[in-house]
């Protein structure tokens, strides 16, 4: 291989520009047009691409150095000559990251797809001279619309494409929001009944499904209408239809009665996920439903089976049992909410045992037979085979990323064996100008994770220095009681050989919890024995999903037990339980006899 010098090309009026990132190292194999360094002036950031492919032999620059046109970046063992001037890289040109040009990225790291062995995307589909937009976002769920709005705020011309005419994706339309509306309705009904034991009695509740569904839809509509208004105010063009990549710089959109081909400088893929259907289950019968069908709530079945004891399954079990159905839950694992610490699940299980007819663990559904008036479900568990009849069956065993059918191969991309697209900490795929976020890029499949990733991708596309550096992502099951957790669980800490100290506070000693009927709840925090910093936490009880945010912040801040315990919390509140769990770990708790005293 011939030895070549790669130099800084013509970068316009910029001279003596500082290098803020070096994106390659000696021994790396680089492709033509792959970014080598990132420069930053007082006007813009820009990436300098490779004008030839080969193996990096020696770097001539480092972070903090200042360069101009003609400065040598590195020595390359080139694989083949290109049509460009290899010495000067004049035709390649640096790529400014500015709002009117849309830029590829101000980030820098090679994507995880490339690092794991995936071949970089081919150069097919060169950036068009006059594209329809700087940034095209495919998918208008929480991650997608957040990315589109953030990029528009940063000055990019944005097109947002979604197959549905209403923004918000699964979460706002048929997921997070309508489910929480129904869970709240059931909670109000339950609380009214419970107050009968405390001197305030109401008549037996009457459920009007038409009114309940109308209220649920009004909640959703208020949010989705707000999104439409925000898109309009930001001048984000919304295109309705199914999108499929034709190459690395264009997308074909199939709408109702019309088609369009949109060209772009950069793209963010945010197509979300779909419910998993286990083998042998025919979703063609209208009585066998997924989470979307469950939220339509067209009837209250007498006998309702939930296949799957995860978050979605248990939330829907709470809704339907609260509205009067006899609910059975089947879970393949040895407990509900697999992966969550047993002490938290134990409190929820106590409540569910009262609400549900049956809960079967270590059990799988082997067949569903459709009868005229019912469904016969065959199950196989630790105690053998059995069958029961149900009026409706919810399949809630998980979700699968929507990476197929969007033209990834045409853009030089692919998915792994689980269907995920590999990205780096800047959300960049193997194609440097195409990003992916949310359910497409891995677990956990949560809207708040997608929103955070979407903003990172948008900022990188706009020339901002942004990367994923969150220490923890919280999870919440909005059951009754709620269960929330973040960071390491006890089981994970033990499996990883991490020594930890635990601080736990039972809600039976919290006045606010007792007044809410949440005396069974608990809050616990885990602290690294060596550093003293909080590494995880879990809460079960009313409002756990709200309380967990303090634990998330504590992890991000690297807080110790005294940092939390010495923070004055309002009284009487549930938030005190977080402080008291920290005090229990620190040995300063006064509301109970501490296991250790300091």
15 has a pLDDT exceeding 50: yes
100 has a pLDDT exceeding 70: no
State residue 44's pLDDT score: 59
State residue 1's pLDDT score: 60
State residue 120's pLDDT score: 40
Q: Cα(265)–Cα(105) distance, rounded to whole angstroms?
A: 11
The better pLDDT of the pair 225, 84 is held by: 225
104 has a pLDDT exceeding 90: no
Of 558, 557, 550, the closest CA to residue 581 belongs to 550
Classify each residue of 535-547 as buried b or exposed e, where b means 16 or more C-beta atoms within 10 Å of its C-beta.
Answer: bbbbbbbbbbbeb
DSSP characters over 411-441: GT----TTSPPP--TT-B-SSTTEEE-GGGG
pLDDT tens-digit readout, 125-148:
577 889 999 999 999 999 999 999
CATH of 474-586, one of 3.30.390.30, 1.10.287.610, 2.60.120.890, 3.30.360.10: 3.30.390.30
Q: Are 503 and 582 in contact (CB under 8 A)?
A: yes
Q: Are 283 and 290 in contact (CB under 8 A)?
A: yes
Q: Are 484 and 538 in contact (CB under 8 A)?
A: yes
The encoded tokens of residue 169 equal 């994706």
| Helix, strand, coil % in the chain, rounded to nearest 5 | 30, 25, 45
484 has a pLDDT exceeding 60: yes
pLDDT tens-digit readout, 374-415:
999 999 998 899 999 999 999 999 999 999 999 999 999 999
The better pLDDT of the pair 462, 129 is held by: 462
pLDDT tens-digit readout, 514-568:
999 999 999 999 999 999 999 999 999 999 999 999 999 999 999 999 999 999 9
State residue 18's pLDDT score: 87
Strand partners, 541: 482
* 332 Cβ neighbours under 8 A, 6+ residues apart: 362, 363, 364, 397
Classify each residue of 338-371 as buried b or exposed e, where b means 16 or more C-beta atoms within 10 Å of its C-beta.
Answer: eebbeebbebbbeebeebbeebbbebebeebeee
State residue 596's pLDDT score: 67
The encoded tokens of residue 77 equal 């063992």
State residue 13's pLDDT score: 62
Q: How many CB atoms lie within 10 A of CB 13?
A: 6
State residue 329's pLDDT score: 98
Classify each residue of 220-232 as buried b or exposed e, where b means 16 or more C-beta atoms within 10 Å of its C-beta.
Answer: beeebeebeeebe
Can you tell me whether residue 150 is helix, strand or coil?
Answer: helix
pLDDT tens-digit readout, 165-181:
999 999 999 999 999 99
Q: What angle do CA 546, 551, 556 make, to 5 degrees?
A: 125
CA distances from 571 to 102, 214, 511 (A): 51, 38, 9
- Average pLDDT of the residues in 271-291: 93
CATH class of 277-397: alpha beta
117 has a pLDDT exceeding 80: no
Of 323, 326, 330, 276, the closest CA to residue 295 belongs to 323
- Average pLDDT of the residues in 259-279: 95
User: Where would I find the H helices in 161-241?
Assistant: 169-174, 176-194, 209-233
pLDDT tens-digit readout, 23-56:
888 888 888 878 899 887 665 567 888 888 889 9
CATH of 133-272+402-462, one of 3.40.640.10, 3.20.20.70, 3.50.50.60, 3.40.50.300: 3.50.50.60
State residue 102's pLDDT score: 34
State residue 569's pLDDT score: 97
Average pLDDT, the chain: 89
107 has a pLDDT exceeding 70: no
Provide φ and ψ at 368, rounded to 5°: -130, 120
CATH of domain 2-78: 2.40.50.100
Q: Are 308 and 396 in contact (CB under 8 A)?
A: yes
Based on its alpha-carbon atoms, the radius of gyration of the chain, rounded to whole angstroms, reads: 28
State residue 483's pLDDT score: 98
* 320 Cβ neighbours under 8 A, 6+ residues apart: 294, 300, 301, 304, 306, 327
Peptide bond into 495 cis (omega under 30): no
- Average pLDDT of the residues in 98-126: 37
Active-site residue, 426 included: no
State residue 87's pLDDT score: 37
Q: Cα(98)–Cα(83) distance, rounded to whole angstroms?
A: 27
DSSP characters over 103-142: -S-S--PPPHHHHTTPPPPPS-SPPPSS-SEEEEEE--SH
Q: Which of 249, 426, 562, 571 is catalytic?
A: 571
CATH 3.50.50.60 domain span(s) along the chain:
133-272+402-462, 277-397
Q: How many residues are there in the chain? A: 598
| pLDDT interval class at 16 (50, 70, 90) | confident
121 has a pLDDT exceeding 90: no
Q: Does this model's pTM top 0.85?
A: no
- Average pLDDT of the residues in 277-285: 90
Q: Please state the separation of Cα 37 from the chain's center in Å.
A: 30
Can you tell me whether residue 176 is helix, strand or coil?
Answer: helix
Euclidean distance between the first and final Cα of the chain, in Å?
Answer: 68
152 has a pLDDT exceeding 80: yes
466: left (phi over 0), alpha (psi -120 to 50) or beta: beta
State residue 253's pLDDT score: 97
């Amino acid at each position: 291989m011939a030895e070549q010098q790669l130099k800084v090309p013509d970068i316009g009026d910029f001279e003596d520009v500082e290098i803020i990132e070096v994106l390659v190292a000696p021994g790396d194999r680089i492709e033509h047009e792959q970014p080598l360094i990132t420069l930053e002036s007082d006007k813009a950031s820009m990436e300098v691409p490779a004008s030839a492919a080969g193996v990096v032999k020696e770097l001539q620059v480092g972070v903090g150095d200042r360069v101009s046109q003609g400065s040598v970046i590195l020595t390359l063992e080139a694989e083949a000559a290109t049509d460009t001037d290899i010495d000067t890289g004049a035709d390649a040109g640096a790529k400014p990251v500015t709002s009117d040009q849309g830029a590829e990225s101000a980030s820098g790291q090679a994507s995880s797809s490339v690092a794991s062995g995936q071949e970089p995307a081919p150069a097919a589909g060169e950036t068009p001279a006059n594209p329809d937009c700087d940034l095209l976002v495919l998918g208008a769920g929480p991650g997608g619309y957040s990315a589109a709005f953030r990029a528009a705020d940063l000055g990019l011309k944005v097109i947002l494409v979604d197959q549905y005419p209403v923004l918000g994706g699964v979460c706002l339309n048929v997921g997070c929001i309508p489910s929480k509306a129904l869970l709240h309705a059931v909670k109000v009904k339950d609380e009214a009944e419970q107050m009968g034991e405390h001197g305030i009695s109401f008549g037996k509740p009457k459920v009007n499904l038409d009114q309940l569904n109308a209220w649920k839809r009004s909640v959703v509509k208020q949010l989705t209408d707000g999104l439409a208004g925000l898109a309009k105010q930001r001048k984000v063009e919304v295109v309705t239809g199914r999108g499929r990549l034709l190459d690395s710089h264009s997308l074909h959109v199939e709408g109702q009665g019309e088609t369009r081909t949109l060209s772009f400088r950069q793209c963010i893929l945010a197509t979300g996920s779909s419910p998993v259907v286990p083998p042998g289950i025919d979703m063609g019968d209208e009585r066998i439903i997924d989470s979307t069908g469950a939220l339509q709530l067209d009837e209250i079945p007498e006998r309702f089976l939930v296949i799957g004891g995860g978050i979605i399954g248990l939330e829907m079990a709470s809704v339907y049992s609260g509205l009067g159905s006899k609910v059975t839950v089947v879970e393949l694992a040895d407990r509900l909410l697999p992966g969550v610490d047993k002490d938290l699940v134990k409190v929820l299980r106590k409540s569910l045992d009262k609400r549900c007819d049956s809960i079967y663990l270590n059990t799988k559904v082997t067949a569903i037979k459709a009868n005229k008036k019912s469904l016969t479900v065959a199950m196989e568990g630790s105690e053998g085979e059995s069958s029961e009849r149900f009026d409706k069956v919810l399949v809630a065993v998980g979700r699968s990323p929507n990476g197929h059918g969007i033209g990834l191969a045409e853009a030089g991309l692919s998915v792994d064996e689980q269907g995920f697209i590999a990205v780096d900490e800047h959300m960049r795929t193997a194609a440097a100008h195409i990003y992916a976020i949310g359910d497409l890029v891995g677990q956990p499949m949560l809207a708040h994770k997608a929103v955070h990733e979407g903003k990172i991708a948008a900022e990188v596309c706009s020339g901002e220095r942004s990367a994923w550096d969150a220490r923890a992502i919280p999870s919440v099951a909005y059951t009754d009681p709620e269960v929330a957790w973040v960071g390491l669980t006890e089981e994970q800490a033990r499996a990883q050989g991490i020594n930890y100290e635990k601080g736990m506070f039972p809600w039976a000693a919290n006045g606010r919890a007792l007044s809410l009927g949440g005396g069974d709840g608990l809050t616990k925090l885990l602290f690294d024995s060596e550093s003293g910093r909080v590494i995880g936490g879990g809460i079960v009880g009313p409002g756990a999903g709200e309380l967990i945010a303090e634990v998330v912040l504590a992890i991000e801040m690297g807080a110790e037990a005294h940092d939390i315990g010495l923070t004055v919390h309002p009284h009487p509140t549930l938030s005190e339980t977080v402080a008291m769990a920290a005090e229990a770990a620190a040995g300063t708790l006064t509301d109970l006899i501490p296991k250790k005293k300091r």
